[in-house]
Amino acid sequence: MIKLFEKLVEYSAERDIYDEEELKNGLDAKTTKHFPVVKNNLYRLLLKSMNVCREDNSNIEKVKNLLEQYDILFSKSLLKQCENVLKKARNISEDNEMFLYLHDIMNKQRVLARYMLNAVSYENVIEKVYSEQLYNLEKIRNLTDMNDLGNRITLLLQKYPSAKSRDEADMKERSEIFNNPLLRDESRMLSSITLKRFYNLNVVLNEWLLDYEASFMFAKKYANEVEKDVDKNKSSIHDYIISQYSVMTSSTRTEDLVEYEKAHLKLSNIKSRFPAASERDKLEAFYYLGLDVLSSSASNYHPERGLKMLEEAELNHGQMDRMLSLQQKIIWCFVIARFCFSKGSFTDAGRWLNRLIQIPNIDVSQDYQCYARIMNLVVAYESGNPDRIEHELRRAYYFLTKRNKIYKYEKIILDYIRQAFRVRSVREINEMLEFMHRDLSAIKNDPFEENAFDAFDLLPWLERKITQK
């Protein structure tokens, strides 16, 4: 069993992907008999060792350890020592706004007072603890409400990638969020955690309202609060990454390139800024930096950054595919494909589009998947391969006809896909492109179609084709 344990450790250290069958092929039948037990033991030991590594840096671990010490001391009736331990745990919990732990600590302080104090003093303690717990519960409710608003906004962003409404029902859904009094009154935030949530959510809401200056203002406030707290472990590295990404996206809208470059530098230097950052933190920083750099480069702002990011994306593709969420993978592949498309690198665009299309669960981010198929259809046209063009026509047609909702942009594309099956000459193709350009131009300023044009504007490509004919 010891040899098997060593073999498992050695195998895991040498590979990024675990293939159990490959590992078993190198073992004899007698050794594999104990395989499940040894594997589970190794798994538990790895989790335990990682937990020990985090104990010194995590405030949660510090409080958990102190509460375990309290339980041991209390079982031995060492009440004075219990009191000292609880004070330390409470100070850490209050400083770091750990409300759930704080509630438990207050309960323990009340119980401890019953054993240590006389009736008058005990009465004072229970009244004080009751009052403090009520206020602590208000903070928990405040945080829960803000988290719920954040989840609802995230859901809308998944449905509508460019944050533009596509119909009246969507407008109504957003209005319910916009009109929530918590998002309109900063004074209702009862903790620094909810204040940061308030700033972050208002970055998104004001962008939806097209008030880019207000969005930028909230992004800077959010980044400043996180910057103050992150070194005290009151904000996570994830918060830091999101705050700098918010500054990058909102400064792009307001064309404040000075602030953009500051945020770009901070996000680029995440490894040196946080030497203890986890692999997930580093990957997340690369992901968000990549989204903004590739989008900016597609608009010819530092295009060399986009080309470098494309190279790194190819190198890191396996790791990104394993660690990104389904939603993130779809967005990542689409943004890279759009960058390649903007530079005329249609082969690269097609490769990333096919990676996106092959992602399972088409119910997620249907807008992105829809635009990906339309872009892939153009990429197929650029290839000049009739079989590929016909294949992509059928694939795009099938996807569009199966969508829950068809908006004007997609309907126009769908109508011309139907016509494309009957087109036989170059003249007919050119005419069809001209008519498609006419119809898409007619809805360009429709507020419900801004989402589509913001994600993938087909007009520039059509104009080039019409001019070149």
Amino acid at 35: F
The predicted-structure confidence for 66-76, as pLDDT tens digits, reads as follows: 999 999 999 99
What whole-number distance in Å separates Cα of residue 80 and Cα of residue 136?
Answer: 25
With contact defined as beta carbons under 8 Å apart, do 238 and 288 qualify? Answer: no
How many CA atoms within 13 Å lie on the side-chain side of 283? 17
The predicted-structure confidence for 347-371, as pLDDT tens digits, reads as follows: 999 999 999 988 876 555 677 888 8
Q: What is the pLDDT of residue 30?
A: 67
Cβ neighbours of residue 460 under 8 Å, at least 6 residues apart?
none
**Strands, E assignment, 216-307:** none
pTM for the whole thing? 0.82
Q: What is the band of 452 on the pLDDT scale with cuts at 50, 70, 90?
A: confident
Q: What is the pLDDT of residue 420?
A: 86
Q: What is the pLDDT of residue 22?
A: 76
* Residue 128 pLDDT > 90: yes
- Please indicate whether residue 343 or residue 14 has the higher confidence score (pLDDT): 343
- Dmax over CA atoms of the chain, in Å, equals 99
Q: Which residues of 147-184 are buried (b: 16+ CB within 10 A; e: fewer)?
A: eebeebbeebbbebbbbbbbeeebeebbeebeebebbe
| pLDDT over 70 percentage in the chain | 91
With contact defined as beta carbons under 8 Å apart, do 194 and 202 qualify? Answer: no
Per-domain residue ranges for the chain? 2-139
Q: What is the band of 1 on the pLDDT scale with cuts at 50, 70, 90?
A: low
Highest mean predicted confidence (pLDDT) among 36-45, 260-269, 318-327, 352-361? 260-269
DSSP codes, 398-432: HHHHT-S---HHHHHHHHHHHHHTT--SHHHHHHH
SS3 231: coil
Amino acid at 122: Y
What whole-number distance in Å separates Cα of residue 235 and Cα of residue 227?
Answer: 8
Measured from the Cβ of residue 281, the count of other Cβ atoms closer than 10 Å reads 18
The predicted-structure confidence for 175-208, as pLDDT tens digits, reads as follows: 888 889 999 999 999 999 999 999 999 999 998 8
Cβ neighbours of residue 396 under 8 Å, at least 6 residues apart?
373, 374, 376, 377, 413, 417
